[in-house]
Amino acid sequence: MTDHHEGHGLDDLVEPTSPDPDLVEVLTDLFADYRATRATPTAVVDLDRDLWQRLEDLGMTRLTGTESAGGSGGGWVDAAALLGLAAAAAAPVPLAEHDVLGGWLLEAAGLPNDGGLRTVCRPDPSGVALNVTWARDASSIVALWEDRDQWRVADVPVDRVAVDERRNLAGEPSDTVEFDLDDLESGIVVAHEIGEQFHLRGALARSAQVVGAMERVVDVVLTHVREREQFGRPIGRFQAVQHLVSDIASETALARAATDAAVARAAASDWRDPGMLFAVGVAKSCVGHAASVVVRGSHQVLGAIGTTLEHELHTLTRPILARRSEYGSLQDWDETLTALASSAGHDRLWTLVTTGRAKPSTGSFPPHDNT
């Protein structure tokens, strides 16, 4: 029998809680309509303010905010569904940054969330934050700042920061932001666990987004191999293509299972489960390794057509590659899991798998930044 102080056991997570079916139906219809009506994809991706407004009207931009703070009161299971469906539609909107990270930090600090679009970052000691997605489009930037032995949260209007506009691999805004140190040092002190949770929440949000995009890639690939013919028959009949499709689908399914398990653990414990580091690490590792297989295999299956700007595939695969390295690279998370497994030793390895804990005070977070 597992000690309840060591976190939720495997039996608690066999069937992750499902998102609200009405929510999924509304979002599925919304993003299907978005895919059908959006303009031809380009190499540069900008914020879709019309889509953002539609999501805001539905209460989706503050899905996880408490009702007392003006949010919709949704949990992480619903949030993961929203992030995945949006990513599957290649929707250029900052849902993770604005809600599950930025909005959460504001509530934790007791700061108002009074409208506007927000992004979030972790500036370094000099006040500089790299790779801040959607910074140029935000009305303010929520900064989590490590001030000696304290964590502070500041909600800084974008007109008080210097923004050096850049783009990530997906062509999305991913800017360098420089803060005035006075703005950061006057931020609200928050509990130490807020600082620790931020990196984990960001990593799991990115995992949910990548899985959603990969599942759409599977759909795109399956449609292509059924419809595309060569030598008088669909290319899906060829064994080499079947192997590629099988690899893409199986890696995506594995990434989904690992991400769902981490989401379920987070939802069941409100992120208090001491096994969250292991659960998120497994999700980030599985998703990161799957991303290579899915991107490479899907472009092999579709060939030249999948590299054209007009085709949907690159709107999915480029964000997959960009997001898998955010909130800890694949190497960072693999090293974290290795450290946890080594610390557990052979006598506690199964305990690590089922509860997420090896021994007290084991494992470490990858570097706390947006990359």
Separation in Å, CA 95 to CA 59, 63, 102, 190, 302: 12, 9, 10, 23, 30
pLDDT of residue 2: 37
pLDDT at 273 over 60: yes
- The model scores a pTM over 0.75: yes
Please return the burial class of 270, using the count of CB atoms within 10 Å of its CB with bins 0-12, 13-18 and 19+: exposed
Contact 39, 90 (CB under 8 A): no
Q: Residues 120-134: what's their mean pLDDT?
A: 97
Q: Would residue 69 count as lying in a domain? A: no
Residue 230: in which H helix or E strand, if any? strand 229-230
Same structural domain, 218 and 121: no
Give the domain range for residue 157: 97-190
Q: Would residue 39 count as lying in a domain? A: no
Q: Residues 270-298: what's their mean pLDDT?
A: 96
Contact 184, 107 (CB under 8 A): no
Separation in Å, CA 323 to CA 200, 206, 212, 232, 337: 14, 6, 12, 39, 19
Same structural domain, 173 and 211: no
Q: Would residue 2 count as lying in a domain? A: no
- Round the average pLDDT of the chain to a whole number and report it: 91
Query: What type of residue is 155?
Result: D
Q: What sections of the chain are H helices per DSSP?
A: 21-37, 49-57, 76-88, 95, 104-109, 181-185, 192-227, 239-269, 276-302, 313-323, 330-355
pLDDT at 260 over 90: yes
CB-based contacts of 334, cutoff 8 Å, min separation 6? 285, 288
The residue out of 190, 213, 246 marking a domain boundary is 190
pLDDT digits (tens, 9 = 90+) for 300-324: 999 988 889 899 999 999 999 999 9
Same structural domain, 326 and 276: yes
pLDDT of residue 369: 54
pLDDT of residue 349: 85
Q: Would residue 54 count as lying in a domain? A: no
pLDDT of residue 360: 54
pLDDT of residue 4: 40
User: Nearest-CA neighbor of 333 among 204, 247, 215?
Assistant: 204
pLDDT digits (tens, 9 = 90+) for 190-241: 999 999 899 999 999 999 999 999 999 999 999 999 999 888 899 999 999 9
Q: Would residue 151 count as lying in a domain? A: yes
Q: What is the percentage of the chain residues whose pLDDT exceeds 70?
A: 92
Same structural domain, 173 and 314: no
Q: How far is CA 278 from the centre of its chain?
A: 16
What pLDDT band is residue 8 in, cutting at 50, 70 and 90?
very low
pLDDT at 356 over 50: yes
Query: What type of residue is 43?
Result: A
Same structural domain, 109 and 197: no
3-state class of 149 per DSSP? coil
| Count: domains in the chain | 2
310: domain CATH number is 1.20.140.10
Same structural domain, 303 and 322: yes
pLDDT digits (tens, 9 = 90+) for 69-90: 888 999 999 999 999 999 999 9
Same structural domain, 220 and 135: no
Same structural domain, 229 and 109: no
The residue out of 190, 207, 231 marking a domain boundary is 190
pLDDT digits (tens, 9 = 90+) for 279-291: 999 999 999 999 9
Q: Would residue 30 count as lying in a domain? A: no
Contact 118, 98 (CB under 8 A): yes
pLDDT of residue 359: 66
pLDDT of residue 314: 96
Same structural domain, 179 and 204: no
Q: Residues 144-156: what's their mean pLDDT?
A: 94
Same structural domain, 207 and 306: yes
Same structural domain, 124 and 271: no
Q: Would residue 142 count as lying in a domain? A: yes
Same structural domain, 215 and 261: yes
Q: Would residue 92 count as lying in a domain? A: no
The residue out of 190, 215, 232 marking a domain boundary is 190
pLDDT at 13 over 80: no
What pLDDT band is residue 365 in, cutting at 50, 70 and 90?
low
